[in-house]
Structure 1
Amino acid sequence: MVLRPPVEPMLAQAAESVPGPAALRAGVAYEQKLDGHRALLFTGAEPGGRVLVQTRRGSLVQDRFPDLVTAAEQQLPHGLVLDGELLVWDVEAGRLSFEALQRRAAARARGAGSLAVRWPAYFVAFDVLQLDGQELLSRPYKERRALLEQLFTDHALTAPWTLCPMTTDLAKAREWLETWTDVSGVEGIVVKPLTSRYLPSYRGWTKIRRRDTTEAITGAITGTLTRPQLLILGRHDQAGRLREVGRTVPLRPEVSRQVGEYLAAADPGHPWTGVRFAAAWGSREALDAILVRPELVAEISADRATDRGGVFRHPLRYRRLRLDMEAEDVPRFGAGSAAAAG
């Protein structure tokens, strides 16, 4: 069987920590989890065949990434299907940029070439689903990984192609989770059984994001003042403006009652007057929010995925109130999750 898009990618379920001893005895591999867009790349079965780039949801976006298409035509063999992560490098900033990746993914084809110069794309491969026209889904992960590594060796692949780092050493994986996540674009690890087949749309892998404890200011809520459902949080930027950084997951009933004891309705002139808050990152659905005095400091748990200089892309987890802290003590907008006020 020759694979053609759309192919549903295999998925991962979230976990808080590395799987226990039973899973480890069965044999697992650890890969670095990168903060990009999941993508499958198809090369044509014959010379001159069309290169296709498919998103996780099945859309074809190769017209937005002409630099990758050209590189694939020049460097990759025919009849190949790779699974991996699309990343973009911001040349001016000298770092990986999720915001730039979003811009490229949404661009029209006629502007894609100029964007590729400013924000070149990279493909980090972590699986091979087809090689030389032969489908590999039923092969165990360890065999597919060996074939992927051999592909990089045989074709001397370099940028924009990158082989996703992998280890079977638990100590090394923990080092990646604790220290490599300080690097822009690395947000955790993915754990994969060595004997697992590639099962489209099945959550057979485990993803673990690094989470850090930090603080933010409660500027708005949903629900009521006495029974808030979730907190909308902010931080002051260098100019002293309160900027939204994210929202929490829904509060547990006992936590909601506790927080409600300290909330106060906003005074006139609240910095977020007239602001609409999205129900989720990237969503157009607005929350029914109530502004509160931006004085109450919340300790939160956050992962490393941020956007627009300081907005958390994933919901935050409320930990406790920091009644010992003033709003001025909270890290500034753009500090991310790594900087805690202590």
Structure 2
Amino acid sequence: MGEKDRRLVPPVSPMTARTVDATPRAPGLAYEAKWDGYRALLFARRDAPHLQSRRGTDLGPGFPDILRAAAGLGEEAVFDGELVVIEDGAVDFGALQSRAQRTGRRAEAAAAAHPAHFIAFDLLELGAESAGVTMNRPYRERRALLEEVFTRHDLQPPWALCPMTTDPDRAGEWLDPAWGRVGIEGMVVKGLGQPYRPGERGWRKLRARATAEAVVGAVTGPVTAPDVLLLGRHDDEGELRMVAQSAPVTTALRRELGRLLTPAGDDHPWTGARFRSGWGTRDILAHRCVTLDHVVEFEADVAFEAGRWRHPVQARRLRPEVPPEDVPRFPAGPAE
């Protein structure tokens, strides 16, 4: 925060949300579409525009198109929102990641080939009003100011305004996996009277969920008491492709799987393979291959990229009635 709390200075810790299992329903709530992109704060400053990640990283070098839009807004402001790249009518998370890794001429070339959008959903500072005053306004007033900015400047891409409703039934449509295919992965719920509190986990979020099946290809921990499952599907050439990593399984499922799983021989397709512990991480999992005899049903959100679920899935139960050859082929997604 700048002198006398008048001007925000990056990095700023954004307000965040805790996960809930059902749509909150009460008077005085607002529901925003939750996008599958990079959370970002955009500082619209004519001479020093800045794009900051949720954790404070400077994203500006990878997104010169967004910085130009911020510099050209015509008034100073700080926005909270989601950074996305849209290809063929859907969010392309892989293209977004690739852009974030480029700088200089390569970043400019990527911006021309894969334009980004900044989807604004909150306002932390506007014009001469001090940031402290703006953030202390209730959400309903900040949203009204945000909409006024879009109208006053007739903002066009790369700017976008996040959809919002006060109707929980309408917001519930965002939980349909069909929306997941275009990049909306659920909703964020805010109180209409809530101020913006940097770093506070004061909102609520609900991700769209869907069930799917895959073959257990490997595990972490002992085969007789597996901890995490590495799940696979065969592609059209018959190659087993990893599609998901589970969160640690329940005690009941661990015991059930431990009685059934069999260590695989050296002919297993994943023998010698290296799997990372999470999307975008460098840590390698120590896994044990098992024979491809068992299918599990899992629950996952709709963050799906290049045939694989990016976030850990929840293994729910064995599907002994489903033979491995009947599992959907790679790269079928959440609703296919």
TM-score bracket, normalised by the shorter chain, equals over 0.9
Pair 1:6 & 2:7 matched: no
Determine the structure 1 residue equivalent to 2:21: 16
1:182-213 Cα offsets, whole Å, 9 max, x none, are: 44111101111111111111111111111101
In angstroms, what is the RMSD of aligned CA positions? Answer: 1.4
CA contact (8 A) 2:31 2:188 kept: yes
Determine the C-alpha separation between the residues in 2 that align with 1:243 and 1:118. 29
Determine the structure 2 residue equivalent to 1:124: 119
User: Which of 238, 243, 260 is the equivalent residue of 2:258?
Assistant: 260
Q: Secondary structure at the match of 2:281?
A: coil
CA contact (8 A) 1:191 1:206 kept: yes
What is the letter of the counterpart of residue 328 of structure 2?
P
Are the structure 2 counterparts of residues 176 and 95 from structure 1 closer, same or farther at C-alpha, using a change threshold of 3 Å?
Answer: closer
What is the letter of the counterpart of residue 16 of structure 2?
L
1:324-335 equivalent positions in 2, closer than 5 A: 324-335=321-332
Q: Show structure 1 runs of 5+ residues with no match.
A: none
1:223-281 Cα offsets, whole Å, 9 max, x none, are: 11211111110111122110011211111222201111110111331111111121222
CA contact (8 A) 2:232 2:241 kept: yes
How many positions carry a matched residue from both structures?
328
CA contact (8 A) 1:77 1:132 kept: no
Determine the C-alpha separation between the residues in 1 that align with 2:322 and 2:307. 21
Q: Secondary structure at the match of 2:176?
A: helix
Q: Show structure 2 runs of 5+ residues with no match.
A: 1-5
Determine the structure 1 residue equivalent to 2:3: none
Pair 1:115 & 2:120 matched: no
Determine the C-alpha separation between the residues in 2 that align with 1:71 and 1:245. 37
Determine the C-alpha separation between the residues in 1 that align with 2:173 and 2:113. 33
Determine the structure 2 residue equivalent to 1:315: 312
TM-score (structure 2 length as normaliser): 0.94
Determine the C-alpha separation between the residues in 2 that align with 1:132 and 1:283. 39
Determine the structure 2 residue equivalent to 1:100: 95
Determine the C-alpha separation between the residues in 2 that align with 1:298 and 1:143. 48
Determine the C-alpha separation between the residues in 1 that align with 2:209 and 2:332. 14
Deviation of residue 181 (structure 1)? 2.0
CA contact (8 A) 1:78 1:133 kept: no
CA contact (8 A) 2:177 2:210 kept: no
Q: Secondary structure at the match of 2:218?
A: strand
Deviation of residue 17 (structure 1)? 1.1
Determine the C-alpha separation between the residues in 1 that align with 2:39 and 2:151. 23
Deviation of residue 178 (structure 1)? 2.4
TM-score (structure 1 length as normaliser): 0.93
Determine the C-alpha separation between the residues in 2 that align with 1:108 and 1:223. 41
Deviation of residue 133 (structure 1)? 3.5
Deviation of residue 77 (structure 1)? 2.7
Pair 1:33 & 2:31 matched: no
1:100-123 Cα offsets, whole Å, 9 max, x none, are: 000011112231011011110100
Q: Secondary structure at the match of 1:150?
A: helix
